[in-house]
Amino acid sequence: MKISKLSQSLLRSGAVAALVFASSSAQRADAALHLAFGVDTNAGSPTTFNQIRVRDLHDDHYHGFTQNNGTAGSHVPEPFVVIPGSGMATLDLASMDISPFSSSRYTTTLTPGGDFHLELIGLTGIDTDNLIVRFWHDDHTHTMSVGGNAEHLSLAEINKIDFALASGAGLGSYSAQFRIVDEGETYITSPTFTIHVNAVPEPSAALLGAAALGFGILRRRRR
């Protein structure tokens, strides 16, 4: 059976769109997000003095961080991309440092020290029961839950945080809200910061969907 030029064009465009979508999603999923935190020791900053602040590493300096809900080409990182039941997104905590900051740099050990812990305080999205948040402690993981006990390890013991979605989880936007607390109560709890995750279909499903869309358009044009 011969395929018309219109059919071929639609198939090619659908396949290319699906592949580009899958490729860009994978790139976003692998995009590095390095967070650090410190205590504002500048008495000239009355609203944030003595408070734990979260920073995003940008090249050789830091910026204040509240969420990774930016767009391509902007400084604010894009949301992580996760395929339900396949793969995960990782928040790298390698640059976390318990220290004061000056001019957005982290340079010296904080004195007095604090007992810093990461708390998961909220989940949002269309199917949060299937959103898995876990952190690595040495060579094993702990699953976090809102108000749970898994986060009661020092931040110094957490290597990275993984975000995954169980198979069958609904597609769309998800987010997890965190804060950093000093359980010794020397320093003020950090503002809430949010990690966004977008659930997308398998690349093969996206490709089949684009092809089906192309055939649908073709059939309507023939009628």
Residue 12: pLDDT over 70 = no
Q: Provide the pLDDT confidence category of residue 152 given band limits of 50, 70 and 90.
A: low
Antiparallel, parallel or unpaired: β 98-102 and 140-144: unpaired
DSSP class per residue in 147-181:
T-STT-SBGGGEEEEEEEE-TTPPPEEEEEEEEEE
Pick the range with the lowest mean pLDDT from 48-52, 79-83, 96-100: 96-100
Pick the closest to residue 90 from 152, 47, 29, 45 (CA basis): 29
185 burial type by CB count under 10 A (0-12 exposed, 13-18 middle, 19+ buried)? exposed
* pLDDT at position 165: 95
- Tally of CB atoms within 10 A around 154: 14
Mean pLDDT of 106-110: 58
129 burial type by CB count under 10 A (0-12 exposed, 13-18 middle, 19+ buried)? exposed
Residue 176: pLDDT over 60 = yes
